[in-house]
Amino acid sequence: MALLTDAGTHPVVTSRRGGRLSPTSRYVVGRVVSAFGTLLFVVLFNFFLFRVMPGDPVGLYTRGRNVDQEQLRALRAALDRPKLEQLWAYLRNPFSQGVDSVKYNQPVWEVIGPHVVPTLLLVGIATVFATVFGVWIGIRSGWNRGGRFDTIATNTTLVLYSMPEFWFGMIMLIVFAVGLGPIPGVFPTGGLSTPGVDTSSPAGWLDVAWHLALPVTTLAVVYLAEYSLIMRASIIEETAQDYLQTARAKGLMDKMVRKNHAVPNATLPTMTLVFLNLGFVVGGAITIEYVYSIPGLGSLTVDALQGPDVPLLQALFLLFSAAVIFANLVADLLYGYLDPRVRT
């Protein structure tokens, strides 16, 4: 590395080409370091947040439990340790199994484990449907702006986007699960499976799918509307760009211009939004799970808040924050992969 001087008096730092990281590598390293720093901040915030709450933590932790005096003294001694000592123990393993839930009297991560799969099923399937159909509707609406399909689709998606999730979920539950007028109730009213059904068998898979039909549809429709509107706006913005006129001037058919030029660039904001929403929705789609009585992370969060079950809330807060940070990192890396301008 050498220090040179340009025509003015400003120093210019140069280095051998072989010692430099490529733009892509610098971008990836920067995003990963930023995500790790954010996660570290969240861990620290999570540690102090639940230690500045008012009230007696020992009394809250032992409420409704038969604890003898020796255990109480040991618990108070553990909580009376210096904050730095507690912080170091927490930083060594934030996902430690050594903390029990007040309500369930089990290690918090053992309580959380069984609730992860229902949430991932609900969120994952709904995200796939919302992304595929939302992007398709947005592309067709934006490319034929002002047409009949665009008018109907835009008005419909605006209505769907404005509806609260819990309200729409209750309407779906009343109409298609309970039954309304001539419409029979054919879907389950709640739960993830029928009691007594072996969910590891093909018949059990179908039963789970039948129970997830209404909640997945509810969540997918709400996010489909959002993705459709964003994709439509992106397509409309791209249609005014000069490179599309150049592609047409080269003799490309209209559908090829849309497929090979407009759509790849217009998809970038929508894909970023999909991954960001995925991180937030992993928090449990709380309202959807509560309306349909799905035993996921959202329902578990509601149960923990009713206590409040502070150890369980602390673990859930850390899990949700880590999910958002990871989804944000994936979105950043994907954006850099799809758009070379970002990493250069």
What's the number of domains the chain is made of? 1
> Residue 115, Cα to own-chain centre: how many angstroms?
16
Domain assignment of residue 298, yes or no:
yes
Q: Are 135 and 235 in contact (CB under 8 A)?
A: no
**Of 343, 288, 311, which is closest to residue 53 (Cα–Cα)?**
311
Domain assignment of residue 224, yes or no:
yes
Residue 107 DSSP label: B
Q: Which of 60-74, 110-124, 225-239 has the least mean pLDDT? A: 60-74
> What CATH number is given to the structural domain containing 338?
1.10.3720.10
In this structure, how many other beta carbons lie within 10 angstroms of the beta carbon of residue 264? 12
Comparing 336 with 298, which gets the higher pLDDT?
298
The 3-state DSSP composition of the chain as helix, strand, coil percent (nearest 5) reads 70, 5, 25
Asked if the bond preceding 308 is cis, omega within 30° of 0, the reply is yes
pLDDT mean over 120-144? 89
Q: Are 301 and 316 in contact (CB under 8 A)?
A: yes
Domain assignment of residue 181, yes or no:
yes
17 by Cβ neighbours in 10 Å (0-12 / 13-18 / 19+) ranks as exposed
This prediction's pTM: 0.75
Summary mean pLDDT of the chain: 79
Domain assignment of residue 6, yes or no:
no
Work out the percent of the chain whose per-residue pLDDT is above 70: 80
Domain assignment of residue 127, yes or no:
yes
Q: Are 327 and 276 in contact (CB under 8 A)?
A: yes
User: What is the distance between the alpha carbons of residues 337 and 344, in angstroms, rounded to a whole number?
Assistant: 11
Q: Are 325 and 280 in contact (CB under 8 A)?
A: no
Domain assignment of residue 66, yes or no:
no
Domain that holds residue 225: 108-343
Domain assignment of residue 23, yes or no:
no
Domain assignment of residue 180, yes or no:
yes
pLDDT in tens, 59-107: 666 665 666 677 667 666 666 667 777 777 777 777 765 677 777 778 8
